[in-house]
Amino acid sequence: MHSKIGLLAGILLCFSLPERSYAQGKSYLDSLLRTATANYPLIKVKRLQAQALQYAVKYKQNGLIPSLNASYQVDYATANNITGMIYPQYITPISGPPSKGNDYSGVPGSAAALNLQWEPITFGQRGAEIDLAKGRLQYGQADENLTLFQHQIYVIGAWLNYQLVSDLIKVYQSNINKSAFNLKQAQTLVVSGLRPGTDSSSFHSEYTRAEMQLIAFERQRDSTLIALKELVGGKLPAGLPADSSLFSNLPAITLADTSTTDHPEVQLGKANVSANELALKSLKKSILPHLTLWSTGYGRGSGIGADGSVNSSDGWRFQRYNYGVGAQIAFPILEVFRQKPLWKQQELLTASSREQLAQTELHLNTQKEIAASNFQKAVQSARLAPLQFHSAEYSYKAIQSRYKSGLINYYDVIQAQQLLFQSAATVKIAYYGAWRALLNEAAYSGSLNLFLNQYGK
């Protein structure tokens, strides 16, 4: 008898651990899903990351805007110069004619300029970068959608768990009531001399054990409710209901679409393939020419005059003014040889993402087929469970009557009561299993509507 109770608790534990939560009543379930979508931190993380990627697209689009820089500088330096070429990196050049010697007396100088650079034509490079940014945005949005979908599955699963434990508590309470009745009946029969005194002690022990089991399930109910509260962001919507209709109605077996094309995980895989393809396209565009249009206007002052005379005060005011416009096109001739390893790397990453997508589709199709089969079997099993319960109920009433008549001992009554309790719990677990199987099918199909369209009807 005790081993049967342990087996039942084990079955319940298997159902309760893998996933989490569900709501009583369609409206409350909808409220739970809305609350989780708005408040759960991980969903917020993915949403904010997707929003950040939108601005990455705008940044790339703003590459068409020219750069315009205003500058002003002052300096104090010598003016010793010499004729000849010099590579300017890391060396600040001196303008003006060569000097006859070295004079280490410094003079002031100043300059101000307005410089514009514009790349209106990039030979497809800007467009490729914009497309890549959009591809990464699409990936971020797909990642957000997958996270949201998976979390909604967790929320519904958690609410299913809560409803199961809550209804099993009712079954336990009914079992306690029967134990209390049997105890009172045994005490009456003992007092009247129709039953031995040990019957009263045995029924009292059974009553106490039933109370302890109820406490254990109440603890489990509290745990599932706390887990549900975490999944919705820390605070449950008001008006938590108890939905027993879940255990009186079974979902219908329908012919579901076998395609997983629209599954959020498949969409994420497709977005990853697209982003890798766009990255390869962007890399190949980097070997194209660079065309730059520029213009400048500036004023300059120097403490050294055209005749070589020094007048330090002239260095603080502008003496010469210039302007200029021009265009430059640069061809990265050898860049193609440097970029080829990167192209090959990106090609392999792209091929890898395609295979990963194929693996995802294969896995989802397989699991969806298994889930559909499990759902059908779970519904068939749930339809049989009430028959077992009605038989156990009839048997319990008959045995209870025979005990009262003194035809059987207390052990037969307890056995019948436990069988009735287990049968009642089995009905709850079987109905829960059918709804859970439907939820699993919805999870692998990529559509919550497969579950939501039937729940609450």
Q: Which residue has the tokens 């005790």?
A: 2
Which is more confidently placed, 13 or 180?
180
Tally the C-alpha atoms within 13 A of residue 444's C-alpha that lie toward its C-beta. 22
In the prediction, which pLDDT does 185 show?
65
Of 60-69, 165-174, 398-407, the least confident: 398-407
What is the chain's percent helix, strand, coil content, to nearest 5? Answer: 65, 10, 25
Give the phi and the psi of residue 115 in degrees, each rounded to 5: -120, 135
Phi-psi region of 352 (alpha: psi -120 to 50; beta: other; left: phi over 0): alpha
On whether the CB atoms of residues 287 and 123 are closer than 8 A, the answer is no
Determine which of 182-196, 273-287, 308-322, 372-386 has the lowest per-residue pLDDT on average: 182-196
Q: How confident is the model at residue 19 (pLDDT cuts 50, 70, 90)?
A: very low
Neighbours of 141 (CB within 10 A): 20
- For residues 71-96, average pLDDT: 86
Q: Which tokens go with 126? A: 């800007």
Average pLDDT, the chain: 85
- 328 pairs with which residues across the strands? 292
Identity at 158, one-letter amino acid code: A
What residue segments make up the domains of the chain, in order of their start?
2-59+124-288+339-452, 67-118+290-330
How many whole angstroms separate alpha carbon 151 and alpha carbon 230? 11
Rounded distance between C-alpha atoms, residue 123 and residue 247, angstroms = 66
428 contacts 382 by C-beta, under 8 angstroms: no
Whole-structure pTM value: 0.82
Task: Give me the pLDDT at residue 18, please.
Answer: 36
Q: For residues 133 and 269, give the distance between their C-alpha atoms in angstroms, rounded to a whole number.
A: 17
Q: Into which CATH architecture does domain 2-59+124-288+339-452 fall? A: Up-down Bundle (1.20)
Contact 37, 43 (CB under 8 A): yes
More confident residue, 9 or 322: 322
Asked whether 376 and 253 are in contact (CB, 8 A), the reply is yes
Residue 14 pLDDT class (50, 70, 90 cuts): very low
What span, in angstroms and rounded, lies between the C-alpha atoms of 247 and 396? 22
Given a cut of 70, whether residue 188 has pLDDT beyond it is: no
Cα 370 from Cα 209, distance rounded (Å): 40
Q: Which residue has the higher pLDDT, 187 or 220?
A: 220
More confidently predicted of 72 and 313: 72
Report the half-sphere exposure of 352 (CA within 13 A, side-chain side). Answer: 7
Per-residue confidence band for 2, with pLDDT thresholds at 50, 70 and 90: very low
Give the residue, 191 or 1, on which the prediction is more confident. Answer: 191
- Radius of gyration from C-alpha coordinates of the chain: 40
Q: Are 145 and 270 in contact (CB under 8 A)?
A: no
Average pLDDT score over residue span 192-213: 68
Helix ranges (DSSP H) in 192-303:
197-231, 264-285
pLDDT tens, residue by residue, 282-333: 999 989 999 999 999 999 988 888 777 788 888 888 889 999 999 999 999 9
Rounded distance between C-alpha atoms, residue 299 and residue 317, angstroms:
9
Average pLDDT over residues 141-161: 96
pLDDT for the residue numbered 199: 62
Q: Which two tokens stand for residue 368?
A: 């969806």
Average pLDDT estimate for 264-281:
96
Q: How far apart are CA 450 and CA 457, in angstroms?
A: 13
Question: pLDDT over 90 for what percent of the chain?
Answer: 52
pLDDT at position 95 is 83
Distances (CA, A) of 393 to 178, 388, 413: 12, 9, 12
Assess whether pLDDT exceeds 70 at residue 191: no
pLDDT per residue over 349-373, tens digit each?
Answer: 999 999 999 999 999 999 999 999 9
Res. 63 pLDDT band, cuts 50 70 90: very high
Tokens describing residue 98: 């060569």
Going 79 to 82 to 85 to 90, the CA torsion angle's sign is negative
Range among 77-81, 105-109, 342-346 with highest mean pLDDT value: 342-346
Residue 198: what pLDDT? 60
Q: What is the 3-state secondary structure (H, E, C) of 223-238?
A: HHHHHHHHHCCCCCCC
Q: How many CB atoms lie within 10 A of CB 232?
A: 24
